[in-house]
Amino acid sequence: MPVTNSDLARRIHAVSHLTGQFTLRSGRTATEYFDKYRFEGDPALLDEIAQRMAPLVPSGTEVLAGLEMGGIPVVTALGRHTGLPCAFVRKQAKPYGTCRLAEGTEVAGRRVLVVEDVVTSGGQIVLSTADLRVLGAVVSEALCVIDREQGGADALAAEGISLLSLLTAEDLRTATAR
């Protein structure tokens, strides 16, 4: 029997949903936390996620660009399923070695798909896309595992970037409510 998005959402939730006392980036506290690194650290689940994401890669994409840090495992797994070369995009260029912002395959003059694990506000994709465009990349889409549906798609659209997602926050809520 084929795996559905609901099945996948349930598995991601089961692995990543934590309860306890957590301090969020905002400084607020919460009794629930979604630890995205748990699904990224599960090789079988990450492989299944990438397999399901592969058909979402827009036709004509030449390079998959994973954003530091969560997008790196996702883009690596996705590259395995699509056969497309990968670039690994830092938040800032390192001051030693190659001193590059985008490591891996060359992005200049190529159609690049930005890959991220979870999108909330879309802020890092906006920043990284601007950096990639300065490097000569052609970026018009971003692909994520989960869109938290908290304004990210609108923020990206304002920058000329369409957001594609495997799952949404609503998908996770619906799948775990059953």
Three-state secondary structure call for residue 97? coil
Residue 117 labeled ligand binder: yes
Is 122 annotated in some ligand binding site? Answer: yes
Residue 35 counted as an annotated binding residue: no
Please tell me whether 120 is known to bind a ligand: yes
Contact indicator for 66, 75 with CB cutoff of 8 Å:
yes
90 labeled part of a ligand binding site: yes
Q: How far apart are CA 63 and CA 173, in angstroms?
A: 32
Q: Does the annotation flag 7 for ligand binding?
A: no
Residue 57 amino acid letter = V
**Is 123 assigned to a binding site?**
yes
163: region left, alpha or beta (phi > 0 left; psi from -120 to 50 alpha): beta
CA distance 2 to 90: 36
Phi, psi for 127 (deg, rounded to 5): -65, -50
- Do the annotations mark residue 70 as ligand-binding? no
Strands 138-147, 111-119: pairing is parallel
Q: Quick check: helix, strand or coil at residue 122?
A: coil
Residue in 80, 93, 88 with CA at minimum distance from that of residue 105: 88
With both helix axes pointing from N to C terminus, report the angle between 5-16 and 43-53 in degrees, rounded to the nearest 10.
140
Q: Is 124 annotated as a binding residue?
A: yes
Judge whether 16 is annotated as a binding position. Answer: no
Is 36 assigned a ligand-binding role in the annotation? no
* Binding-site residues for 5-phospho-alpha-D-ribose 1-diphosphate: 25, 90-91, 94, 116-124
* Binding-site residues for orotate: 120, 148
* Binding-site residues: 25, 90-91, 94, 116-124, 148
